[in-house]
Amino acid sequence: MPEPVSALPRSAGILLHPTSLPGRGVGDLGEAAHRFVDWLAGAEQTLWQLLPLVPVSEGGSPYNGLSAMAGNPLLVSPEGLVRDGLLDPDRVGGEELPDDRVDYSRAVPWKEGVVRAAWEGFRAGRAPALREAFEDFRRRNAAWLEDYALFRALRGVYRGAAWIEWERGVRLREPAALERAREELADEVEVHAFAQFLFDRQWGELRRHAGERGVRIVGDIPIFVAYDSADVWAHQDVFHLDAEGHPVVVSGVPPDYFSKTGQRWGNPLYRWDVMEARGYRWWTERFRRTLELVDVVRIDHFRGFESYWEIPADEETAIRGAWRPGPGARLFEAVRRRLGELPLIAEDLGLITAEVDALRDALGLPGMRVFQFAFGDDDRNPHLPASHPEGSVAYTGTHDNDTAVGWLRESASDEERSRVARLLDPAAEDVHWEVIRLVLGSAARLALVPMQDVLGLGSEARMNTPGTPEGNWGWRLPAGALTEDLQRRLREVTLATGRAPRRSAAGAST
């Protein structure tokens, strides 16, 4: 039974997506990931926060995934496939791939080729001990896996075109067209189902290792899903689509100080009335699947459950939109009735109203506090470390922020730097450690630091710049970065701020 975040001890952790780990062309779930868990445990870190683990397209965004339920085959370790007897060692080599950043346009097809070779080996009789496990995985996950695997097979037939561009029969899921596609694409469906099995197998090994080292995994659920996803294609009736499958209204946020035209995200919006009439089954299964993979879940854009900005699909900007009521507590109550306690963190950043705060508090969820948001024109800013309530999660920054060093030296305004200077010297050589010490020293129950901030890297190491379509999600951990000296320093600040795990007489963390 999952524990609510309020039951977790005062603790600290690191934000690092697995794609940023060492690995050929892209980080994966292999030996480097297991070593990272060991490094975290040695630094007294008990949390590892990730971005969504979903499959991505060549753009690499885990917030625009091809499925809300599936895992990312890009993370499958080739060395793990060799160990399982599915690949020969020489198949792991081949194309030269950069190690300093993830080039998704090259890494995705290369890794797909590796996974396909593993499937061909399996089909030819290699690793026979995995056959029963694969069939069991398919049975347990059939509710989402069969639609996802067919979606990926069809996407291959149509050369990556969005499902709205497919032949009308399969686009609108006419039974005869789907049956014909399943028969004609049976082999391709098997490949994609097997890729999910490989991800699940390797992820399970990594998560068990983390649990043995006392490290909890913090995952991420974006409130909305991508239009070009297996979820929307397979469940068109629970989204605001017209009779041909085109969106009627889409997601975004209204104009504000940062953007005169707002942000038009473009995700299709849910038909909350239909979802409620069905007992929020789709959301229940989404939470169930996510909690099979992680220990704690951060909900991105939590405010959308209270109310969300609805934009007509034919509008090019977010100006002509309207606020619409979300499902509120009803959704979470329905999920809790089926799954029990939900270990959730509410991402309550941005335009937050008293109603959003009330919903978060009624559900007993911690909100987020971010150091970089603490230095506006309000001396009682809730993001100031001294203002953090115990029931919150503190961050130096998130994946959408500049790094701490980059922000202080390039992105922050003069007024923000002046306010920061009341707490620390923005020009100090080790300013990132001062920021980390302030955040970990706050009253917040959990504190998380992006790996880039532990390393003291500048803006060149930023993971994502919202509103910028190119150059995101590619940052890689520099070779040799996880040193004993860095581990020691992180351990010292964690101990000094009372966030190290308590040890039993037998030495196990509690």
**10 Å Cβ neighbour count for 507?**
6
Q: What would the DSSP string read from start to end of 445-496? A: SEEEEEHHHHHT--GGG-S--TT--SS-S-B-PPTT-S-HHHHHHHHHHHHH
- For helices 431-440 and 484-496, angle between their N-to-C axes, nearest 10 degrees: 40
Which amino acid would we find at residue 346?
Answer: A
For 263, residues 6+ apart whose C-beta sits below 8 A from its C-beta are 252, 253, 318, 466, 467
Q: What is the DSSP letter of 336?
A: H
What are the CA-CA distances from residue 181 to residues 148, 225, 231 (Å)?
A: 13, 24, 18
What are the CA-CA distances from residue 268 to residues 55, 225, 312, 373 (Å)?
A: 19, 7, 10, 29
**Residue 215 phi, psi (nearest 5):** -105, 120
Closest CA to 42 of 509, 497, 502, 491: 491
Q: Can 347 be counted among the known catalytic residues?
A: yes
Active-site pick, 44, 188, 200, 300: 300
Q: Can 400 be counted among the known catalytic residues?
A: yes
Alpha helix (H) residue ranges in 340-478: 354-362, 404-406, 414-420, 431-440, 451-455
What are the CA-CA distances from residue 393 to residues 369, 396, 399, 449 (Å)?
A: 6, 10, 15, 11
Paired sense of beta strands 392-395 and 216-222, if any: unpaired
**Secondary structure string (H, E, C) spanning 284-309:** HHHHHHHHHHCCEEEEECHHHHCEEE
Is the sign of the CA dihedral 446, 448, 454, 456 positive or negative?
A: negative
User: And the tokens for 234?
Assistant: 């397979």
Q: Can 361 be counted among the known catalytic residues?
A: no
Cα separation of 215 and 501, whole Å? 10
Is the sign of the CA dihedral 477, 478, 480, 486 positive or negative?
A: negative
Helix (H, G, I), strand (E, B) or coil at 380: coil
Closest CA to 446 of 351, 361, 346: 346
Active-site pick, 276, 400, 434, 492: 400
Active-site pick, 347, 348, 402, 416: 347
Q: What is the CA radius of gyration of the chain?
A: 23
Q: Which residues are catalytic?
A: 300, 347, 400
